[in-house]
Structure 1
Amino acid sequence: MRSRLMEATVELLVERGFGGTTTTLVSERAGVSRGAQLHHFPTKNDLVVAAVTHLSDRRGAELAASAQRLPTGPDRTRAVLRMLGDHFASPVFSAALELWVAARTDPALLAAVAPLEQHVGREVHRLTVELLGADESVPGVRELVQATLDLVRGLGLANTLGDDAPRRSRILDEWARVLDAELGRSAPRPGTGRAERDEKEPSR
C-alpha cells in the first residue's frame, strides 16, 4: 500500500506539479482509501517527501547497478556521463524539482526536503568521483567533478521542457573529452580512487 501511494505521488508530481498534486488524487490513483492514506501519511508534505525519498533510494540502487556494467578503457568517461545524464532526465528528477520549487516558499517543506537533497547530492558526488577515478586531492579536480554534476543537472532541467536528448548527447560528448584531457594526467585508473590507493601505499 505504501509503495502504491508513493508511486502514485511521483506520477502526479510529474504530470501535474506540486500544486496540482492532492492527497485525494493520490489515493484515487493508488486505489487506496483516504483513511488508509491518512494513516500512513497525515499531510501532503509527509507524502511527497516520503515518495521522492523512496524513489531516490531506488534510483540510487539502479545507478549503482548500472555502474557495475560500465566499460573500462577510453569510452568509460562518456559512459559515466551518459548514465548521469539519464539519471537527471528521469521522472524522479522532475518530481524532486517540483519539491525544490515548492520548498522555496514553504518553510516546513524546506525543512524536510533540504536534508534529503543534501544526502542525495553527497551520494551522487561520491559515486561520480569513484566512477571517474578522480583524485580530489589534486587542485581543481573537485571543482571539475562538481561542474560535471552541475552540468547534468542543468541538462536535466532543460529536459523538463521537452525531449532534449540529442543536444544533451552532443554536450556530454564534448564534456567527456574535457574530462579525459584534464583528469588523464592525474586521475588513477577507474575503480582505484584515492581511498583505495591510500590503503595500498605504505604510510610515510
Structure 2
Amino acid sequence: MRARLLEACVELLVERGYAGTTTTLVSERAGVSRGAQLHHFPTKADLVVAAVEHVMTERGIALDEAARSLGHPGTRAVLELLADHVTSSVFTAALELWVAARTDADLLAAVAPLEAKTGRETHRVTVELLGADESVPGVRELVQATLDLMRGLALATTLGDDDRRRERILDQWAATLDQTLGRTA
C-alpha cells in the first residue's frame, strides 16, 4: 500500500505539479482509502518527503541499470545516457520537488540532502563511464559542467522538444570532452 501511495504521488507530481498534488488525489490514484493514506502519511509534507526519497532512489537505480547496460561506451553514448536520464518522468517529479522546495523550508530540508547524495552518485557514475581522471586539474569541474548541461537540456525539454538542437549540442560536447580528456572519438 505504501509503495502504491508513493508511486501515485510521483505520477501526480509529474502530471499536475506540486501545487496540484493533493493527498486526496494521491489516495484516489493509489486506490486506497483516505484513512489508510493518513495512517501512512498524516500530512502532505510527510507524503511528499517520502516520495522525494522514493524518487531519488528510483533515479539512482535507473542510472545504475542504464550505465551497466552500456558496457564500455564512447563519450557520445555516455552523454545520450545522461540526457535520457534527466528527461525521464522521475527527473520531472524531482524537478517539481526542487521548485517547491525553493520556498518551502521543510521540503528543502528533506530534498537538499537527498539531492546532494544523488548528485554525488550521478557524478561518480559519470566519471566511471567517461574514464575521467579527476586528479587532473579541471577534470572534476568538466564532469560537473557535463551534468549541469544535461540538467539544462532537461529543463529546456520541459518547455518544448527540439531533438535536432539537442543532438547537435551533445555531438559538440562529446567532441569537447574527448579533446579535453585526451580521448579519440
Distance change (3 Å), C-alpha of 1:65 and 1:125: same
Aligned to 1:180: 178
The count of aligned residue pairs is 184
128, 133, 136: which is aligned to 1:135? 133
What SS is found at the alignment partner of 2:144? Answer: helix
Matches within 5 A, 1:101-120: 101-120=99-118
Which sits farther off after the overlay, 37-46 or 138-147? 37-46
Output one character per residue of 1:113-169: Cα deviation in whole Å (capped at 9) or x when no partner: 111111111110111111111111101101100100000000011111122333222
CA contact (8 A) 1:52 1:92 kept: no
State the superposition RMSD in angstroms. Answer: 1.6
**Is 1:167 paired with 2:165?**
yes
Aligned to 1:31: 31
Residue identity in the other structure for 2:160: G
Q: Which has the larger radius of gyration?
A: 1
CA distance in structure 2 between the partners assigned to 1:66 and 1:161 by the alignment: 25
What SS is found at the alignment partner of 1:105? Answer: coil
Which sits farther off after the overlay, 49-58 or 134-143? 49-58
CA distance in structure 2 between the partners assigned to 1:53 and 1:184 by the alignment: 38
What SS is found at the alignment partner of 2:60? Answer: helix
CA distance in structure 2 between the partners assigned to 1:108 and 1:56 by the alignment: 17
Q: Which runs of 5+ in 2 are unaligned?
A: none
TM-score, normalization: structure 1?
Answer: 0.85
Sequence identity (%): 74
Residue identity in the other structure for 1:8: A
CA distance in structure 2 between the partners assigned to 1:61 and 1:36 by the alignment: 28
CA contact (8 A) 2:56 2:114 kept: no
CA distance in structure 2 between the partners assigned to 1:39 and 1:170 by the alignment: 50
CA distance in structure 1 between the partners assigned to 2:165 and 2:51 by the alignment: 30
CA contact (8 A) 2:56 2:115 kept: no
Q: Which runs of 5+ in 1 are unaligned?
A: 186-204
CA contact (8 A) 2:63 2:122 kept: no
Distance change (3 Å), C-alpha of 1:11 and 1:32: same
Residue identity in the other structure for 2:81: M
CA contact (8 A) 1:104 1:110 kept: yes
Distance change (3 Å), C-alpha of 1:165 and 1:43: farther
Shift of 1:62: 2.2
**Is 1:43 paired with 2:48?**
no
Aligned to 1:197: none
Aligned to 1:53: 53
